[in-house]
Copies of this chain bind each other. A is one copy, B any other.
């Protein structure tokens, strides 16, 4: 299988509303680069994001990529074959009025904003590490590198054009560490060609991303895309070798979790023929429920069901295994 190389000439800041930058057939592998969420403008601990960035340059994505033949109602499968940081550093920060534990635009408090502070991490791809350095004291921690994309999505339904800062039914800024290499993301196709975009690479991220910013990095990423006709999910789904994974992205973790767990139940029922109540029972005892983020304009909850309960069944005619195998051949 050939790999299409795609180097973006400019970035997008919305899902929807933009002409395709690349057109590929289903089954194509694409290696592309993405810039970090700061558009690469935060490079030292003195580069305060609120000074060097503005909202119009936050969270650039590469794309959109038109997948030829994808039609509304289809499912777009995006397998992540590899995600590799392109620099030996990565940045994180606080940001005024942003985060889970601070006054914000949508959860305002009468406090002044938290201090804005920047952290610079050392990235060692060969060693598989990313190193934290405290700012106010001497304290370093070497952490495992665990690259992922925070933002992957398609053009929304209904003619909407949505900021790359928002996660929703079209994907977008889901900000879950589950979106790492080896995983297949399933998105609904809302417009002809799907119009896939991605960016917001993280060297790693905790569940919740509470300060609002992960270990942000430019990435070189290889994906393989495919289309499953008529199988559009209501909400983005993921699959890896061990888990079926659902997402719910609305404001309020309670409702986000309702969506993610409800999606697990429906998915399990569809695959196994269990009725809804029997599926509810099995998910209640085996489902996992980690937070994705609780800082974006919508919050993301993740539902995970071990594939071991499926008795060998796999969704979408085994597209994940097929794309994973294709990706393996690329690496070879």
Quick one: given A13-B159, A109-B103, are A119 and B281 in contact (CB under 8 Å)?
A: yes
The range of chain A's interface size is 35 or more
Q: A108-B258, A134-B281, A160-B163 are in contact. List 8 more A-B contacts (CB 8 A).
A: A14-B158, A100-B258, A103-B109, A106-B259, A134-B282, A141-B311, A208-B261, A253-B256
B106 touches A110 (CB 8 A): no
In the assembled complex, the Cα of A132 lies from the Cα of B311 at a distance in Å of 13
In the assembled complex, the Cα of A112 lies from the Cα of B109 at a distance in Å of 12
Interface string of A55-83 (1 = CB under 8 A from B): 11000000000000000000000000000
Determine how many copies of this chain the complex contains. Answer: 4
Residue numbers in B under 8 Å from A9 (CB-CB): none
Instruction: Give 10 CB contacts A-B under 8 Å.
Output: A17-B161, A107-B255, A109-B262, A111-B114, A137-B275, A161-B161, A210-B284, A211-B280, A251-B251, A291-B301
What distance in Å separates the Cβ of A259 from its nearest Cβ neighbour in chain B?
Answer: 6
Quick one: given A111-B109, A139-B273, A274-B136, are A210 and B280 in contact (CB under 8 Å)?
A: yes
Name which of A34-42, A178-186, A199-207 contacts chain B: A199-207
